[in-house]
Structure 1
Amino acid sequence: MKKSILRIVLLAILILASSSSFAQEKEFPYKWPADPLVNKNLKQWQDWKFGVIIHWGPYSQWGVVESWSLCPEDEDWCIRRGPHAQSYEEYKKAYENIRTVFNPVQFNPQKWAAAAKNAGMKYVVFTTKHHDGFCMYDSKYTDYKITDKGSVFSKNPKSNIAKEVFTAFRNQGLGVGAYFSKPDWHSENYWWPYFPPLDRNVNYDPAKYPDRWKNFQQYTYNQLEELTLDYGKLDILWLDGGQVRPAESLTEETKAWLGKKRWIQDVNMKRIAEMARKNQPGILMVDRTVHGDFENYRTPEQQIPTIVPAYPWESCITLGDSWYSTGPNERYKSVNWAIHTLIEIVAKGGNLLLGVGPDKSGDLVPEVYERLKGIGAWMEINNEGIYATEPISPYQVDKWRFTKSKQNNYAYAFYLADEKESTIPTEINLPAIQPSNNSAIHLLGYDKPLKWKKGTKGTLITVPTQAIAKLKGQPAWTFRVTVNATKQN
């Protein structure tokens, strides 16, 4: 009796959860781009599957969280540390002076780009400007930038950092995206010096001071115009700061981001998008969390959806504790974790945007290069089950994840090995995918087809000892099923 009641309760919870998810998706449906070129580029981007997002700015000199220690909110990620922490005004002044000592002479974007390509990554998103307003490029509209004479690194021939990064990754044949923060905590038209900052939001009412807000709209437009005009081909504009949005786009979650004042901060994305696509035809716009015309794909942060979304998406997840290398105490996840995370995301139809960043020296730390090398070694053998694939039901069963090629009749089954599981069993049961009688099954990395037979709970595959020895220590093993692979009934 108790078990029956428990089943009923669990069923009711599942129904409520499903109806809630459906209601939210119905309220804010995904809008496919109307522009044919944007649609084409979006489909290409969906096939890339794996990219890198690089956070970097003068904050790396102190090893503090990017920008957020300037934000006067009582949140764990906004805590100020160091000798200036007790006075907000003193801290802000010291933070803005970091550029006088931030001198990353080991900056070598060609080395980053080569490591990313060798890891199997297909695109980069780089922070041209974070919330603190400091430009990592040569903006004509502010002197708070890496190329200004007030920045010690301005004398370096590579001082236009964003341009150097974009060129290096482009030269490796990788796609290029510009991260840009819509809020700008240095701009006098966002945080007006007449008032103290209240939280992450604008510190005056844009409706009461419309001219000041129009100045900020134009400033944002101007900076994005120069990025789309002067920095070569861009594939993606990746816009952060979801509190800066029109009123009609607000959700219950994003209303909370507006703080107590609830001032609406509309930067006129329609005008920005028209300009950006005039300068860069077909560019993908990613106005994060603002569902509608300018969110060409969605970007869950530090998480993977539990179900297969019905829209293009990308999980942005850090390799370390932070978005960049903060110092000697930064902890990095394993190669196994990275491979399993990539497979999990791809099996649900998404892309992984892996978050890394250099330290104050200007170079990625050895742990990052080591992880990228390990990911690349696995991708060199198994990438055909990753790129240009789509989800195939049932997506996952126990340790197995599944994809299907868009280009031919291959299904891929990934067996996710435990950290201590270094070898493939000599006989392994493949669930869910039911091969037809004339199908061939291959283990990627081993040339010869494998023997198999139908079992009571799936397909029993015999793995030769040569294959076991050759692929020892892999984070995951990939089986390719050819001909007519269909879901098992």
Structure 2
Amino acid sequence: MPMQPWFRDAKLGIFVHYGIYAVEGVPESWSFYSGQLSREAYMAQLDRFTAAAYDPEGWAALFARAGARYAVLTARHHDGVALWDTAYGNLDVVRHTPSGRDLLGGYAEALRGRGLRVGLYYSHSDWSHPDYASVVHPEPPNADVATHPLVVPKDGVEDPAAWARYLAYRDGQVGELVDRFRPDLLWFDGEWERVEEQWGLEALAARILKSSPDTVLNARMLSHGDYATPEQGVPLLPPDGPWELSLTVGDAWGHQRGDDRPKSVHQLVRYFTETIGMGGNLLLGLGPREDGTFQAEHVERLEGLGAWIARHAEAVYGTGAGLPAGHHYGPSTLSADRRTVYLFCFDPPREAVSVRGLRTAVKRVRVVGTGAEPAHRITGGLHDVPGVLWIDAPAAADIDPRATVLAVELDGELKLYRGAGRS
């Protein structure tokens, strides 16, 4: 299926990890998997999960202010706790927590009301389901997948009937998500604990796309995924095809005690521009408290990023990956008509900004957000090797405190020199 064009141009999404783990502020699912908490203590959080201040309209408004075009909410993590009233399994916040209501419907409606695309996270794995630890990964990628009691059957004795029941449960829940909430994107996880054939991903993808043919699937649907999902670190080389970097605002995905070192707005602008400069999207993660409210520091970071994006929107939306490394010392993007290159400068230019290897003549240069037009000139060049474009440093009044953006307008489509020079 061709990639949905909205995804390539979305640039920014918000990744929300919300669940009972926010009650104690412990790692989502992993805290009982690792033994930080007993499973009983972890599940006791059900009794205090209220979602009392959950405001999906407020969430959607915040995400829109941040400049996001989509969001992804954890419909069910590895702990097996569903955020909607599922007919499959018996573990959801509607029946077993004081919140007592479906948390997905209002979220989807609020996002769509703001023109944002709806994403739902779902884990293939479920460390609470009685039938999950019933088969063995044929080539375990790590020791846990080979030995952990929540993952593998006791004594390694497989139970194909139990596994078939588990897949029916998994497929039933995914079917509910597709049919009831019509997600634009399904963000799967947990795929490392089984191989594609064990997961039955061909049949699952067919089920999803039959009901919702435009739904985008991430790479954790393995060969049936539409885009790559690097996590927590900007790749040095972009993955092939569409991709998305998942990155937390603080250190944790969900709300955790002690997660008090959020990235600065400057850092988020840098992560964002480096990602879109290589043709990817940034999926920026944060976790609400159990009542549904976000930390003020995280809200401030989102709003700061959004203010920067709003001022420089032309260099963000409707653009693609910019210049290859070495042409400009910083990320860049390229307009859809390939006639404008946007240069991101994280530090105030001291004398001039240089661009190497431009074959296309430059019509003018302007500062995005102020309209100032710094002078520019070409020096050097010989035969087929173009000279260097020098752009005078903008005046202090035209410098953005997060990142200054220079629009280099070309007299034709971008053409680059990529050779080794005359030898």
Which of 332, 355, 365 matches 1:441?
Answer: 365
Would the alpha carbon gap of residues 309 and 364 (structure 1) be closer, same or farther in structure 2, given more than 3 Å must change? same
Once the two structures are superposed, the pairs formed by residues 78-157 of structure 1 within 5 Å of their partners are 78-80=34-36, 85=37, 91-148=38-95, 150-154=96-100
Which of 338, 342, 366 matches 1:412?
Answer: 342
Amino acid at match of 1:270: E
Amino acid at match of 1:376: G
CA distance in structure 2 between the partners assigned to 1:487 and 1:368 by the alignment: 40
Q: Does structure 1 retain, via aligned residues, the 8 Å contact 2:78–2:123?
A: yes
Deviation at 1:347, TM superposition (A): 1.3
CA distance in structure 1 between the partners assigned to 2:278 and 2:154 by the alignment: 42
Which of 450, 455, 459 matches 2:374?
Answer: 450
Which of 371, 384, 392 matches 1:462?
Answer: 392
Deviation at 1:459, TM superposition (A): 2.3
Q: Secondary structure of 2:284's partner?
A: strand
Would the alpha carbon gap of residues 397 and 341 (structure 1) be closer, same or farther in structure 2, given more than 3 Å must change? farther
Would the alpha carbon gap of residues 275 and 206 (structure 1) be closer, same or farther in structure 2, given more than 3 Å must change? farther
- What's 1:212 paired with? 162
Deviation at 1:436, TM superposition (A): 4.5
Deviations 1:367-404 (A, max 9, x none): 01100111011101112222232223324567421221
Deviations 1:1-29 (A, max 9, x none): xxxxxxxxxxxxxxxxxxxxxxxxxxxxx
Amino acid at match of 2:45: I
Q: Does structure 1 retain, via aligned residues, the 8 Å contact 2:376–2:390?
A: yes
Once the two structures are superposed, the pairs formed by residues 259-298 of structure 1 within 5 Å of their partners are 266-288=198-220, 291-292=222-223, 294-298=224-228
Deviation at 1:449, TM superposition (A): 3.0
- What's 1:181 paired with? 123
- What's 2:28 paired with? 66
- What's 2:246 paired with? 316
Amino acid at match of 1:345: T
Structure 1's unaligned 5+ residue stretches are 1-34, 72-77, 86-90, 250-264, 418-422
Identical-residue share of aligned pairs (%): 28
Q: Does structure 2 retain, via aligned residues, the 8 Å contact 1:347–1:395?
A: no
Would the alpha carbon gap of residues 355 and 291 (structure 1) be closer, same or farther in structure 2, given more than 3 Å must change? same
Q: Does structure 2 retain, via aligned residues, the 8 Å contact 1:323–1:357?
A: yes
CA distance in structure 2 between the partners assigned to 1:234 and 1:364 by the alignment: 23
Deviation at 1:469, TM superposition (A): 1.5
Deviation at 1:317, TM superposition (A): 0.9
CA distance in structure 2 between the partners assigned to 1:206 and 1:230 by the alignment: 38
Q: Does structure 1 retain, via aligned residues, the 8 Å contact 2:352–2:390?
A: yes
Q: Does structure 2 retain, via aligned residues, the 8 Å contact 1:332–1:367?
A: yes
1:201 partnered with 2:151: yes
Q: Secondary structure of 2:125's partner?
A: coil
Would the alpha carbon gap of residues 274 and 46 (structure 1) be closer, same or farther in structure 2, given more than 3 Å must change? same
Deviation at 1:429, TM superposition (A): 2.1
Would the alpha carbon gap of residues 170 and 407 (structure 1) be closer, same or farther in structure 2, given more than 3 Å must change? farther
Would the alpha carbon gap of residues 243 and 309 (structure 1) be closer, same or farther in structure 2, given more than 3 Å must change? closer
The TM-score, its normalising length taken from structure 1, stands at: 0.76
Report which stretch shifted further, 275-284 or 451-460.
451-460
Would the alpha carbon gap of residues 207 and 272 (structure 1) be closer, same or farther in structure 2, given more than 3 Å must change? farther
Amino acid at match of 1:385: A
Report which stretch shifted further, 475-484 or 170-179.
475-484
Q: Does structure 2 retain, via aligned residues, the 8 Å contact 1:228–1:280?
A: yes
Q: Does structure 2 retain, via aligned residues, the 8 Å contact 1:236–1:284?
A: yes
Root mean square deviation of aligned Cα: 2.3
CA distance in structure 1 between the partners assigned to 2:366 and 2:157 by the alignment: 64
Structure 2's unaligned 5+ residue stretches are 135-146, 381-386, 419-423
Which of 375, 380, 398 matches 2:310?
Answer: 380
- What's 1:24 paired with? none
CA distance in structure 2 between the partners assigned to 1:103 and 1:461 by the alignment: 56
Would the alpha carbon gap of residues 66 and 311 (structure 1) be closer, same or farther in structure 2, given more than 3 Å must change? same
Which of 298, 301, 304 matches 1:368?
Answer: 298
Q: Does structure 1 retain, via aligned residues, the 8 Å contact 2:49–2:99?
A: yes
Q: Does structure 2 retain, via aligned residues, the 8 Å contact 1:451–1:461?
A: yes
Q: Does structure 1 retain, via aligned residues, the 8 Å contact 2:353–2:392?
A: no
- What's 2:106 paired with? 164
Would the alpha carbon gap of residues 134 and 464 (structure 1) be closer, same or farther in structure 2, given more than 3 Å must change? closer
Deviation at 1:325, TM superposition (A): 2.6
CA distance in structure 1 between the partners assigned to 2:333 and 2:121 by the alignment: 30
1:229 partnered with 2:229: no
Deviation at 1:228, TM superposition (A): 0.5
Would the alpha carbon gap of residues 376 and 204 (structure 1) be closer, same or farther in structure 2, given more than 3 Å must change? same
- What's 1:27 paired with? none
Amino acid at match of 2:120: A
Would the alpha carbon gap of residues 367 and 57 (structure 1) be closer, same or farther in structure 2, given more than 3 Å must change? same
Q: Secondary structure of 2:93's partner?
A: coil
Which of 251, 265, 280 matches 1:335?
Answer: 265
Deviations 1:395-419 (A, max 9, x none): 45674212211245211111122xx
- What's 2:354 paired with? 430
Would the alpha carbon gap of residues 436 and 94 (structure 1) be closer, same or farther in structure 2, given more than 3 Å must change? closer
The TM-score, its normalising length taken from structure 2, stands at: 0.88
Report which stretch shifted further, 359-368 or 435-444.
435-444
Would the alpha carbon gap of residues 200 and 187 (structure 1) be closer, same or farther in structure 2, given more than 3 Å must change? closer
- What's 1:487 paired with? 416
Q: Does structure 1 retain, via aligned residues, the 8 Å contact 2:277–2:320?
A: yes
1:239 partnered with 2:239: no
Deviation at 1:206, TM superposition (A): 9.1
